[in-house]
Amino acid sequence: MPDPLFDLSGQVALVTGGSRGLGRQIVLGFAAHGASVVVASRKQQACEEVAAEARARHHVDAWAIGANVSHWEQCDELAERAYRQAGRVDVLVNNAGLSPLYPSLTEISEALFDKVFAVNLKGPFRLGTLIGERMAAAGSGAIINISSVEAASPSPGALPYAAAKAGLDALTLGLARAYGPAVRVNTIMAGPFLTDISKAWDLDAVTAGLQHSSALRRAGRPEEIVGAALYLASPSASFTTGATIRVDGGVHGTLF
């Protein structure tokens, strides 16, 4: 049985970007501690596969909902479907994100800039308000925003992403005040993790850089995000809101 401090039995957790990378690990980590899970991402089939894995491994209810959170109306539909199918949402994890590569700052297109902000900030705002309001009306809930160390130390190679994540950090504080005391809202500020996204990195350069800019001198493994997410979702974080928890291996300075 799960430790009572980290028991999510009877809870329903909705995780965006839940079909791969950090999101998939959070889905399975929550399921391992008794939560029913709603797996959301752009690709329905990928969501179905992770939901099936959660059911098979942890014997919990799991639903798959394909949605692109960069679109306002799809956020609305995602929230409606989650409540319709699962009956409630107790934990929302705004994890979906992207940071496309670009040749130079002046060559960033308006479309790329808008897409980065839509996925990393607009979607979390819309879902956070829609679901946060329902959580507050129900008397409890937890929202976890997955940010990045880029928000605190922006790199030239990820500047729109860094700006959007800085906005997400501000959103955490605003939502915590808007929906408290019933709803707790917190940020996990993630460092470099070796997910499928890292395949686009120059891993030799990143590894070399981390030798000098990280206390642990390495990138994280995806499963190493779960402890912080579980803490913030669970009763053990009952007095934690509006907080930012860094899970970054002790990174200091820019990454790219």
Task: Report the catalytic residues.
Answer: 161
As a whole number of angstroms, the distance between CA 210 and CA 219 comes to: 7
Contacts of 40 (CB under 8 A, 6+ apart): 14, 15, 16, 17, 18, 47, 64, 65, 66, 67, 69, 78, 82, 96
The per-residue DSSP string of 5-72 comes to GG--TT-EEEEETTTSHHHHHHHHHHHHTT-EEEEEES-HHHHHHHHHHHHHHH---EEEEE--TTSH
Beta strands 91-94 and 12-16: pairing type?
Answer: parallel
